[in-house]
């Protein structure tokens, strides 16, 4: 019996009787992070990182939650479970599962670059590693974030000089907080869309230090926003909501902006290939660092990455999951024929 | 900043600008900052002139694989996700500071090395060299370029800068920088000139423009009529003609020589040898605007010695013309099987004088005389559609398809001949397309702004005589909104059955109404038909896949509309 099985409800540890990031309601769920494709409502109990807990409460409502620190081991039916930083967003964790000396690690979503707020990705030695592959093609190689931030800052400054508002489209949990420090260095006022604002409040209450912001007041006169910075989630750039900021420019922050066509398709004035997922090199280095004998590749370019790993002498197979259906994952989610089974 | 970097930044700006004004500003800034030699090249590149290819895309791909050490299949995967070869390679190559380039980035560079024109000059020069020298040059260039520069550099090699910059925009930006009227600029930068030789000031100077005998005028283009024609006012003020489905062209006779230009700014003289027959009867200093189109001379007029009655001709479907264009050398057989003629509808220059400011009625009168003197079965004046009321014209429009036309052109009788696409004086009033309901069976990822999205589809109809098996009959790439594309993309990703390279077979469930302008028999397609301008008219979410049209329906449309064009037998006004 494998330590973790791939079932139609999600990744399941039969020995421990728990699921990791299940996409249907289960009895015991271990949650890697609070993005909605990984944390779904309806399960009886949830185990997650201390900083993920308030976010789950915000998104899933009241449930039975148990919070742990990184590295703290919990034993469930004889199986040792511990969480380790994955560097994706605040609280995001890899799940290490150990039984009878056999170790499996589920990566959840991760990035290898230190963004200063999400914790630093920790390579965990294991026998079997289950990795994401959102950006699992060699065309995805991120610039250092400082370089991207500088470009973003000059864009905001240029817009200010032209009397325009800079609207940045970023995921409300993760990216929105990550771009705050560089933006607050060039803008006196930063306004948040309601969805971003809600996450922001939860994080402040959890004791996270974040730059000063204001909520977009729907009744405020237009002049309030002039020359300022606005952070809003994806989708708002096409809604009437955004018109109040006229004149404005739209910048989209997403790894998909690496390819020119995506910037044009989004109709963005600027695109910043800033991602909370590992790029090609990040994926390869993380996988190698685990020392795993066997790798399962989930959501993203799983066919390409697993084939490449096999050619590199690392035994790998693709697995179909229901992750990557929102947030950054959308574009490549389930981009493989259906008749693939692990 | 080097000239190459300046150009790369311009391309980035143009690629992401969503507003025409921003693009215009970026171009104007470029033209006021760049060196003259580079400006000439930018005008050339953005007006569809490309340097000769000296390195092919296979070589580029192989060399990039050698540098990156990636397997070829992974390159293929990447290419299908990016949708552009130049960009794929630019993204795959390591950054300047990566150790892969060690030794190469230190290469001593001469003063002029950084300019755009330097790279273009070198690219031409290496054409004569052996492959290892070409390879060395390309790899060294990559090594000291950033990602954006590598992208434009690769584009220069593979050709084709399609980044949403119209000729009109270039002309306006140049007009702003040089304080010259856009129509003058448009004329000066049209025609044939070599960006490697000509200087910026010569290109834009009057004397040089006059000395170029083959230089065409910029075309005047019509917008589609969206309202009812009655909104145009008094019918007496308007001239109606059939709208032809050929290639827009200019026939120029100057200094005893005849030239033919297409709207794509391509000199087509050699591809249309039959046009030389017009030369003798065409007065020197004449420029005609009209349609280059396949014409079957009417019975009894197949020999050029016999008299030609005006307006008496049959047009051939576009497919016939397609067998001719693109070929530089035409065989006798092709000349007989697919003769190409000219339907003249405007006079731009007469006796060496620019007539564009004169009213249409005056130009038309003179044009009738000129064309009348030619007496050749392949040269016709565009017949005028007579009408007294808009209702009458609406009725006439219904007969368009029968005569091989796509609808009606409406031109104000007192209108001058303008530059580019303008509203007001000229309108095209096309007939409704032919339509058929079909199911999507294959999908492939698109290019450019549709990269990494399944946007290119193949459609099928049912074959009732063969167990309702699906028969593919066309591909279509456009017609859906971005939102619908995203929806279909998700469907494809979840319902794909098999993968053949970049193509997915999908569950035949989504039904679309396919619109097209024409149909012809074709042995190249399983269905036996080839469509003209197929596109998605709408997504029939209300229909199931067993409600789509049949192969029989398609054949019926072929019988009704597929037999060549139609004849135009009534005389001109």
Looking at residue B344, its pLDDT comes to 96
pLDDT in tens, A312-326: 999 999 988 777 654
Summarize the confidence of residues A187-199 as an average pLDDT: 95
Q: Using CB atoms, which residue from B95, B450, B504 is nearest to A261?
A: B450
Looking at residue B98, its pLDDT comes to 76
Answer whether residue A341 is part of any domain.
Answer: no
Angle in degrees, 0-180, between the axes of helices B147-158 and B116-125, rounded to the nearest 10: 40
Residue that wins the pLDDT comparison between A86 and B398: A86
Whether the pLDDT of residue B551 is over 80: the answer is yes
Looking at residue B493, its pLDDT comes to 83
Per CATH, domain B220-432 is 3.40.50.300: no
A211 plus A290 within the same structural domain? no
pLDDT in tens, B318-352: 878 887 876 767 888 888 888 999 999 999 999 99
pLDDT in tens, B112-161: 568 899 999 989 999 999 999 999 999 999 998 999 999 999 999 987 77
pLDDT in tens, A93-107: 999 999 999 999 999
Looking at residue B427, its pLDDT comes to 96
pLDDT in tens, B402-435: 888 889 999 999 999 998 888 899 999 998 888 9
Q: Which residue of B has its CA nearest to A268?
A: B16
Q: Using CB atoms, which residue from A140, A259, A263 is nearest to B16?
A: A263
- Tokens describing residue A169: 């489209």
Least confident of A48-57, A163-172, B381-390, B516-525: B516-525
- Give the E-state strand segments of chain A in sequence order: 5-7, 10-13, 18-20, 28-30, 45-49, 64-68, 73-76, 79-85, 93-99, 102-106, 128-133, 165-169, 190-192, 214-215, 229-232, 248-253, 270-272, 294-300, 315-318
pLDDT more than 90, % of chain B: 46
Q: Which residue of B has its CA nearest to A235?
A: B483
CB–CB contact B88 A338 (8 Å): no
pLDDT in tens, A10-65: 999 999 999 999 999 999 999 999 998 899 999 999 999 999 999 999 989 888 99
A197 plus A266 within the same structural domain? yes
Answer whether residue A338 is part of any domain.
Answer: no
Least confident of A265-274, B185-194, B344-353: B185-194
A13 plus A71 within the same structural domain? yes
Delimit the domains of chain B by residue range.
Answer: 3-158, 220-432, 434-561
CB–CB contact B74 A304 (8 Å): yes
ipTM, interface predicted TM-score of the complex: 0.90
Looking at residue B401, its pLDDT comes to 84
Answer whether residue A58 is part of any domain.
Answer: yes
The residue assigned the tokens 């008496």 is B312
Summarize the confidence of residues A84-96 as an average pLDDT: 97
Least confident of A320-334, B68-82, B341-355: A320-334
Residue B97: band (very low, low, confident or very high) from pLDDT cuts 50, 70, 90: confident
Q: Which residues from chain B sit within 8 angstroms of residue A304, using beta carbons?
A: 74, 77
Alpha carbon of A44: minimum distance to chain B alpha carbons (Å): 30
Longest dimension (CA), chain B: 79
Residue B245: band (very low, low, confident or very high) from pLDDT cuts 50, 70, 90: confident
- Whether chain A has a CB inside 8 Å of the CB on B452: the answer is yes
Q: What residues pair up with B412 in beta bridges, in sequence order?
A: B238
Whether the pLDDT of residue B111 is over 50: the answer is no
**Residues B305, B437: Cα–Cα separation, whole Å:** 48
Looking at residue B297, its pLDDT comes to 62
**Residues A269, B14: Cα–Cα separation, whole Å:** 10
**Residues B237, B411: Cα–Cα separation, whole Å:** 9
Closest CA to B385 of B415, B359, B405: B405
A66 plus A133 within the same structural domain? yes
The residue assigned the tokens 């550099």 is B153
Q: Which residues from chain A sit within 8 angstroms of residue B73, using beta carbons?
A: 307
Q: Which residues from chain B sit within 8 angstroms of residue A138, using beta carbons?
A: 68, 70, 74, 78, 91-92
Answer whether residue A340 is part of any domain.
Answer: no
Answer whether residue A168 is part of any domain.
Answer: yes
Domain count of the fold of chain A: 2
A68 plus A49 within the same structural domain? yes
Q: What's the Rg (C-alpha) of chain B?
A: 26
A106 plus A193 within the same structural domain? no
From A222, A256, A272, the end of a domain falls on A272
Answer whether residue A206 is part of any domain.
Answer: yes
Instruction: Return the CATH number at A160.
Output: 3.40.50.10890
Domain coverage including residue A224? 145-272
C-alpha A56: how far from its chain's center?
A: 14
Q: Which residues from chain B sit within 8 angstroms of residue A339, using beta carbons?
A: 497
Residue B55: band (very low, low, confident or very high) from pLDDT cuts 50, 70, 90: very high
- Whether chain A has a CB inside 8 Å of the CB on B128: the answer is no
Summarize the confidence of residues B5-10 as an average pLDDT: 93
Summarize the confidence of residues A111-128 as an average pLDDT: 96
Interface test with B, best of A151, A162, A257, A260 (most B CBs within 10 A): A260
- Whether chain A has a CB inside 8 Å of the CB on B84: the answer is yes
From A272, A304, A321, the end of a domain falls on A272
- Tokens describing residue B272: 């249309």
> What is the residue-averaged pLDDT of chain B?
86
**Residues A221, A100: Cα–Cα separation, whole Å:** 64
Looking at residue A332, its pLDDT comes to 37
CB proximity list for B366: less than 8 A, separation 6 or greater: B347, B350, B355
Whether the pLDDT of residue A301 is over 50: the answer is yes
Answer whether residue A183 is part of any domain.
Answer: yes
Summarize the confidence of residues B354-366 as an average pLDDT: 96
From A272, A301, A316, the end of a domain falls on A272
Which residues in B559-568 are b (16+ Cβ under 10 Å) and which e? eebbeebbbb
CA distances from B47 to A55, B163, B259 (A): 54, 11, 19
B437 and B540 Cβ atoms separated by less than 8 Å:
yes
Residue B207: band (very low, low, confident or very high) from pLDDT cuts 50, 70, 90: low
Q: Which superfamily does CATH assign the domain made up of B434-561 to?
A: Nucleic acid-binding proteins (2.40.50.140)
**Residues B444, B501: Cα–Cα separation, whole Å:** 9
A152 and A170 Cβ atoms separated by less than 8 Å:
no
Examine residue A247 and say whether the peptide bond preceding it is cis (omega within 30 degrees of 0). yes
Closest CA to B382 of B510, B239, B266, B278: B239
A236 plus A266 within the same structural domain? yes
- Whether chain A has a CB inside 8 Å of the CB on B504: the answer is yes
Residue B181: band (very low, low, confident or very high) from pLDDT cuts 50, 70, 90: confident
- Whether chain A has a CB inside 8 Å of the CB on B87: the answer is yes
- Give the E-state strand segments of B177-299 in sequence order: 220-221, 223-224, 238-244, 247-254, 257-262, 286-297
Instruction: Please give the torsion angle defined by the CA atoms of residues A334, A335, A337 and A339, in that order, rounded to the nearest 10 degrees.
Output: -30
Interface test with A, best of B74, B80, B446 (most A CBs within 10 A): B74
Answer whether residue A48 is part of any domain.
Answer: yes
A45 plus A128 within the same structural domain? yes
Summarize the confidence of residues B238-261 as an average pLDDT: 93
Residue that wins the pLDDT comparison between B305 and A188: A188
Q: Is the torsion defined by CA of B121, B127, B128, B130 positive or negative?
A: positive
- Tokens describing residue B558: 């072929």
C-alpha A143: how far from its chain's center?
A: 18
Identify the H or E element spanning A155.
helix A145-161
Instruction: Return the CATH number at A69.
Output: 3.60.15.10
pLDDT more than 70, % of chain A: 94
Q: Which residues from chain B sit within 8 angstroms of residue A256, using beta carbons?
A: 452
- The domain made up of B3-158 has a fold known as DNA ligase i, domain 1 (1.10.3260)
- Whether chain A has a CB inside 8 Å of the CB on B453: the answer is yes
- Whether chain A has a CB inside 8 Å of the CB on B29: the answer is no
A152 plus A54 within the same structural domain? no
Closest CA to A58 of A90, A93, A25, A26: A90
Which positions in chain A have a beta carbon within 8 angstroms of at least one beta carbon in chain B? 137-141, 256, 258-265, 267-271, 301, 304, 307-308, 311, 331-339
Looking at residue B211, its pLDDT comes to 52
- Whether chain A has a CB inside 8 Å of the CB on B91: the answer is yes
A23 plus A82 within the same structural domain? yes
- Whether chain A has a CB inside 8 Å of the CB on B495: the answer is yes
Residue that wins the pLDDT comparison between B359 and B178: B359
A11 plus A126 within the same structural domain? yes
SS3 A102: strand
- Tokens describing residue B382: 């565009």
**Residues B455, B450: Cα–Cα separation, whole Å:** 7
Looking at residue B311, its pLDDT comes to 63
Angle at B458 between CA B454 and CA B461, to 5 degrees: 140
Whether the pLDDT of residue B222 is over 90: the answer is yes
- Tokens describing residue B143: 């090594």
CB–CB contact A261 B84 (8 Å): yes
Whether the pLDDT of residue B393 is over 70: the answer is yes
Looking at residue B167, its pLDDT comes to 75
Looking at residue A289, its pLDDT comes to 97
Alpha carbon of A311: minimum distance to chain B alpha carbons (Å): 9
Looking at residue B303, its pLDDT comes to 44
Looking at residue A2, its pLDDT comes to 93
Whether the pLDDT of residue A339 is over 50: the answer is no
A231 plus A156 within the same structural domain? yes
Summarize the confidence of residues B89-105 as an average pLDDT: 80
Looking at residue B305, its pLDDT comes to 44
Looking at residue B206, its pLDDT comes to 62
- Whether chain A has a CB inside 8 Å of the CB on B70: the answer is yes
Do B434-561 and B220-432 have the same topology in CATH? no
Q: What's the Rg (C-alpha) of chain A?
A: 20
pLDDT in tens, B478-507: 788 888 888 898 899 888 888 777 888 999
């Amino acid at each position: 019996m494998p330590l973790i099985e791939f079932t139609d409800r999600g990744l399941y540890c039969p020995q421990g009787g728990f699921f990791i990031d299940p996409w249907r309601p289960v009895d015991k769920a271990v949650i890697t992070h609070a993005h909605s494709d990984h944390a779904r409502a309806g399960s009886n109990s949830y185990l997650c990182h201390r900083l993920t807990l308030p976010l789950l409460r915000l998104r899933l409502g009241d449930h039975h939650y148990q919070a742990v620190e990184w590295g703290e081991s919990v034993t469930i039916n004889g199986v040792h479970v511990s969480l380790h930083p994955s560097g994706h967003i605040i609280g995001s964790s890899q799940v290490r599962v150990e039984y009878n000396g056999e170790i499996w690690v589920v990566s959840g979503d991760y990035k290898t670059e230190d963004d200063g707020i999400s914790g630093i990705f920790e390579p965990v030695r294991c026998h079997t590693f289950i990795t994401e592959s959102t950006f699992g093609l060699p065309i995805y190689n991120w610039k250092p974030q400082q370089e991207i931030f500088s470009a973003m800052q000059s864009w905001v400054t240029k817009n200010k000089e032209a009397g325009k508002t800079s609207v940045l489209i970023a995921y409300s949990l993760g990216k929105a907080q990550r771009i705050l420090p560089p933006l607050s260095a060039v803008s006196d006022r930063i306004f948040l869309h309601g969805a971003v604002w809600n996450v922001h409040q939860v994080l402040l209450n959890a004791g996270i230090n974040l730059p000063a912001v204001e909520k977009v007041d729907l009744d405020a006169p237009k002049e309030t926003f002039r020359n300022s910075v606005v952070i809003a989630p994806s989708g708002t750039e096409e809604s009437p909501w955004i018109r109040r900021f006229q004149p404005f420019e739209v910048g989209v922050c997403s790894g998909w902006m690496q390819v020119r066509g995506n910037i044009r398709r989004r109709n963005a004035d600027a695109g910043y290939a800033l991602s909370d997922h590992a790029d090609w090199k990040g994926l390869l280095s993380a996988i190698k660092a685990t020392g795993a004998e066997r790798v399962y590749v989930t959501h993203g370019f799983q066919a390409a990455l697993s084939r490449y790993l096999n050619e590199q002498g690392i035994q790998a197979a693709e697995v179909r999951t229901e992750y990557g259906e929102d947030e950054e994952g959308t574009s490549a989610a389930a981009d493989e024929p259906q008749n693939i089974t692990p | 900043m080097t000239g190459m970097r300046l150009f790369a930044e311009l391309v980035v700006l143009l690629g992401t600008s969503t507003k025409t004004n921003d693009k215009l500003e970026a171009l104007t800034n470029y033209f006021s900052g760049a060196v003259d030699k580079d400006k000439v090249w930018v005008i050339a590149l953005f007006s569809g002139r490309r340097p000769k290819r000296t390195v092919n895309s296979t070589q580029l791909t192989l060399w990039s694989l050698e540098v990156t050490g990636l397997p070829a299949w992974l390159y293929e995967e990447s290419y299908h996700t990016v949708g552009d070869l130049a960009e794929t390679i630019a993204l795959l190559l390591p950054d300047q500071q990566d150790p892969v380039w060690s030794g190469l980035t230190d290469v001593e560079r001469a003063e002029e090395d950084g300019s755009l024109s330097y790279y273009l000059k070198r690219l031409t020069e290496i054409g004569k060299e052996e492959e290892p020298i070409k390879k060395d040059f390309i790899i060294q260039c990559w090594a000291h370029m950033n990602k954006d520069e590598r992208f434009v550099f690769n584009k220069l090699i593979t050709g084709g800068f399609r980044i949403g910059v119209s000729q009109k925009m270039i002309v306006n930006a140049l007009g702003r920088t040089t304080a010259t009227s856009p129509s003058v600029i448009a004329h000066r930068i049209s025609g044939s000139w070599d960006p490697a030789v000509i200087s910026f000031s010569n290109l834009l100077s009057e004397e040089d423009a006059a000395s170029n005998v083959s230089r065409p005028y910029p075309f005047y283009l019509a917008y589609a009529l969206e309202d009812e024609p009655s909104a145009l006012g008094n019918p007496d003020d308007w001239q109606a003609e059939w709208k032809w489905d050929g290639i827009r062209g200019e026939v120029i006779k100057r200094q005893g020589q005849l030239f033919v230009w297409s709207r794509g700014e391509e000199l087509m003289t050699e591809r249309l040898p039959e046009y030389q027959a017009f030369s003798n009867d065409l007065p020197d200093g004449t420029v005609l605007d009209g349609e280059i189109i396949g014409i079957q001379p009417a019975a009894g007029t197949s020999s050029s010695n016999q008299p030609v009655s005006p307006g008496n001709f049959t047009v051939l479907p576009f497919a016939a013309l397609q067998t001719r264009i693109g070929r530089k050398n035409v065989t006798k057989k092709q000349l007989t099987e697919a003769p190409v003629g000219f339907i003249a509808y405007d006079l731009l220059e007469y006796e060496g004088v620019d007539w564009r400011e004169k009213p249409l009625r005056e130009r038309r009168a003179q044009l009738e005389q000129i064309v009348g003197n030619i007496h050749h079965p392949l040269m016709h004046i565009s017949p005028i559609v007579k009408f007294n009321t808009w209702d009458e014209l609406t009725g006439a429009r219904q007969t368009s398809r029968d005569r091989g036309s796509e609808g009606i052109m409406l031109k104000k009788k007192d209108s001058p001949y303008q530059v580019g696409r303008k509203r007001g004086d000229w309108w095209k009033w096309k007939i409704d397309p032919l339509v058929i309901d079909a199911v999507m069976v294959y999908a492939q990822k698109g290019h450019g702004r549709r990269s990494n999205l399944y946007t290119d589809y193949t459609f099928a109809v049912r074959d009732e005589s063969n167990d309702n098996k699906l028969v593919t009959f066309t591909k279509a790439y456009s017609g859906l909104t971005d939102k619908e594309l995203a929806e279909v993309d998700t469907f494809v990703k979840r319902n794909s059955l098999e993968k053949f390279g970049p193509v997915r077979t999908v569950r035949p469930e989504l039904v679309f109404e396919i619109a097209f302008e024409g149909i012809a028999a074709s042995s190249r397609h399983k269905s036996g038909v080839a469509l003209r301008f197929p596109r998605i008219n709408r997504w029939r979410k209300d229909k199931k896949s067993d409600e789509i049209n049949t192969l029989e329906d398609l054949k019926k449309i072929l019988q009704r509309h597929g037999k060549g064009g139609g004849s135009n037998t009534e005389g001109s006004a």
